[in-house]
Every structure is written in C-alpha cells, then in structure tokens.
C-alpha cells in the first residue's frame, strides 16, 4: 500500500488522516513535536478501523524516521491564524517550521510529492520547493480546492441546488485577493452570471474571499479544518490513483497566465507525478486585472520571505 505522512497532527492534520483512512488508499503517519499527541491520535484512529472495516496502518511519531518511504508528504504544521491576523502575519514563524519539515522529510523520502497547507499558502509552497530543491511538479499548494468548495457551498445555500450540480473555479493567491471566476463557474452548465442576480453573486464572491476569516472569527481559538482536510484527501487520492483530476491548486508558474517565479492558484491536472499539467483559461479584461492584482500580493509575500530566508 502507498504511504502518506502528515506533518502536523493538529486539527487539520488529524482530520485529514481521518478522511484518508476512510478511503483505504494509503498507510498513514502523523508527525508532531508534541510528545504523545500524534501517537494518541493515531492509536485512536487505528481503533476505529475495525468499526468501519478498513485495513490501514496508522502511526504517530515525534520524529521523521517513521515517515521513511512516503509517497506523499502533507505539511500542515505551523501556527494557525487567530482573529485579527492575516495569513501574512504568520510568515516568519511558519517559514522556520516548513523549512525544517521539508528538509527532514526529504532525508527519509527523497522521491515524495509535497502537498502544502501551512499559511501563507503560496509562499510556503514556494519555500518548500526552494529549500527542498524540488522540481516544480512535486510541490502543490492546497488552496483552490478549498476556496472553490467554499464558493460551491455558498452557491448551494443561495440557490437550494445540489452541490453536485455546482462547479466553481477560484484562481489566484490564497488570500483576500483570490479570484472567483463567475463566468466559468456554473450550475449544471449555466454560468453563475446568468443564474444569479449580480448583487447576490457579488455577495457570494466576497464571502468566498473571506471564507477562512469568517470561520476564524466564529471559532475564536482556531481556524478551519474539516474542509481543508477533505481537500487534502481529494488531492492525495487523485495523485495516488493517477486520476488525472483537474482541480484548482497552487502551482509554480513558469509563464502560465503571464506569471513567473511564484506559486499561484490555477487549474492543474493531478496524477502520479504530481502536477502533470497547468490548464490556462481564456480570461476577459476584468479577470486578467483581478488575477494580476492577486499576483502582486503573492509576489510581495515571497519577497518578504526572501528577506527572512536564504533561498
């Protein structure tokens, strides 16, 4: 069976393990610096497997040796946002954590594909690629799946239509400048622009951009974890099963959408090699302008990173 290691066994990491265990597609390792915590969560989850009838090995550890031979390494470790914090406020703290997680994981799994969740997302994906000296196709930022799912959920709430009939595409950086594509997003093939009044659609777009912050404000002591973890599971399954699934995710731009040397949300094809293709949509002038604005915000974050870390 394949092997997936999740670095950071907090709410997002352990919930991702839960979603993945149910899929029975990989043995799992939870790694965390807190002694006993990943071991306890792994044991609890392992004891649930007989109930749901799944044969998956789940291990908890405080060191990286247990991750040896991983096909995929998921990095969720880092400080979560608190009310009033932006994703960028986390930059200096989380850069150290992600650098260490990348370096240590690669010692034991030199061929692993990395899925990054730690915020600021696009910048941490860039850091992982540079610190690990990894080819671009082996580093994927989990953002677009989550942002698009939030938008789909909000459209379903507004219209009463099944989420299965709703397709939404959110591009750009994982922040307040993300770009929900209302022209490409649709309900059973009907563009959202034609299905919903302009004011209702604008409200959904704004709520999508602030989706993570809305949950942080409600929880007061943490950030979202169910939906981010479900998004991890979808991405991991697509890679391990070589599904060629096209989803929005943060990928390294090498000229696509006119962008270079940043990680940025775009539709990507996920397969056994990681990112196998970046899909380029035809964008109108307004969409291009919004994407460029988002790219500026990501570029500024990466420049701030370069002042903290030698890459």
pLDDT digits (tens, 9 = 90+) for 231-289: 999 999 999 999 999 999 999 999 999 999 999 999 999 999 999 999 999 999 999 99
Model pLDDT, residue 78 = 92
Per-residue pLDDT band for 87 (boundaries 50, 70, 90) equals low
Out of 141, 175, 201, a domain closes at: 141
CATH classification at residue 83? 3.40.50.720
Residue ranges making up the domain that contains 116: 2-141
Rounded to the nearest 5 degrees, what angle is found at the Cα of 305, between the Cα atoms of 302 and 306?
A: 90
Out of 102, 121, 141, a domain closes at: 141
Catalytic residue numbers, as ranges: 174
Q: Is the same domain home to 124 and 267?
A: no
Q: Is the same domain home to 286 and 168?
A: yes
CATH classification at residue 248? 3.90.110.10
Q: Is the same domain home to 105 and 163?
A: no
Which strand (E) or helix (H) includes residue 211? Answer: helix 211-219
Q: Is the same domain home to 173 and 249?
A: yes
* DSSP state, residue 89: G
Q: Is the same domain home to 97 and 160?
A: no
Q: Is the same domain home to 136 and 148?
A: no
Out of 123, 141, 159, a domain closes at: 141
Model pLDDT, residue 92 = 87
Q: Is the same domain home to 163 and 289?
A: yes
pLDDT digits (tens, 9 = 90+) for 174-233: 888 999 999 999 999 999 999 999 999 999 999 999 999 999 999 998 889 999 999 999
Q: Is the same domain home to 58 and 152?
A: no
Q: Is the same domain home to 91 and 164?
A: no
Does 16 or 84 have the greater pLDDT score?
16
Give the separation between CA 295 and CA 272, rounded to whole angstroms: 28
Q: Is the same domain home to 122 and 171?
A: no
Average pLDDT, the chain: 95
Give the separation between CA 45 and CA 288, rounded to whole angstroms: 45
Model pLDDT, residue 103 = 98
Cβ atoms 139, 116 nearer than 8 A: yes
Domain count, the chain: 2
Neighbours of 110 (CB within 10 A): 10
What is the reported pTM?
A: 0.96
pLDDT digits (tens, 9 = 90+) for 141-159: 999 999 999 999 999 999 9
Is 80 exceeded by the pLDDT of residue 86? no
Burial of 74 (0-12, 13-18, 19+ CB in 10 A): buried
Helices (H), 72-210: 91-108, 121-132, 144-159, 192-195, 198-209
Model pLDDT, residue 80 = 75
Q: Is the same domain home to 228 and 250?
A: yes
Q: Is the same domain home to 156 and 133?
A: no
Give the separation between CA 135 and CA 124, rounded to whole angstroms: 15
């Amino acid at each position: 069976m394949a092997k997936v290691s999740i670095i950071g066994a907090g709410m997002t990491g352990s919930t991702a393990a839960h979603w993945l265990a149910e899929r029975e597609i990989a043995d799992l390792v939870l790694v965390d610096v807190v002694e006993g915590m990943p071991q306890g969560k792994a044991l609890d989850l392992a004891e649930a497997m007989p109930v749901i009838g799944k044969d998956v090995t789940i291990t908890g550890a405080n060191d990286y040796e247990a991750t040896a031979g991983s096909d995929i390494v998921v990095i969720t470790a880092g400080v979560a946002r608190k009310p009033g914090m932006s994703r960028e406020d986390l930059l200096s703290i989380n850069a150290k954590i992600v650098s260490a997680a990348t370096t240590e994981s690669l010692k034991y799994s030199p061929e692993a594909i990395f899925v990054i969740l730690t915020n600021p997302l696009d910048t941490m994906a860039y850091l992982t690629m540079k610190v690990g000296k990894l080819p671009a196709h082996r580093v994927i930022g989990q953002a677009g799946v989550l942002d698009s799912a939030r938008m789909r959920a909000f459209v379903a709430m507004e219209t009463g239509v099944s989420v299965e009939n709703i397709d939404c595409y959110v591009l750009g950086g994982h922040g307040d400048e993300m770009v929900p594509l209302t022209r490409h997003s649709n309900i059973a093939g009907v563009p959202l622009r034609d299905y919903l009044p302009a004011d209702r659609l604008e409200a959904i777009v704004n709520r999508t951009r602030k989706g993570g912050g809305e949950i942080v404000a409600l929880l007061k002591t943490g950030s979202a974890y169910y939906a981010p973890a479900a998004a991890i599971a979808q991405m991991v399954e697509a890679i391990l099963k070589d599904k060629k699934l096209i989803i929005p995710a943060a990928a390294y731009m090498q000229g696509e959408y006119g962008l270079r040397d940043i990680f940025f949300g775009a539709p990507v094809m996920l397969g056994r090699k990681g990112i196998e293709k970046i899909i380029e949509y035809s964008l109108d002038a307004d969409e291009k302008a919004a994407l460029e604005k988002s790219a500026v915000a990501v570029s500024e974050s990466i420049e701030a990173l370069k002042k903290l870390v030698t890459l």
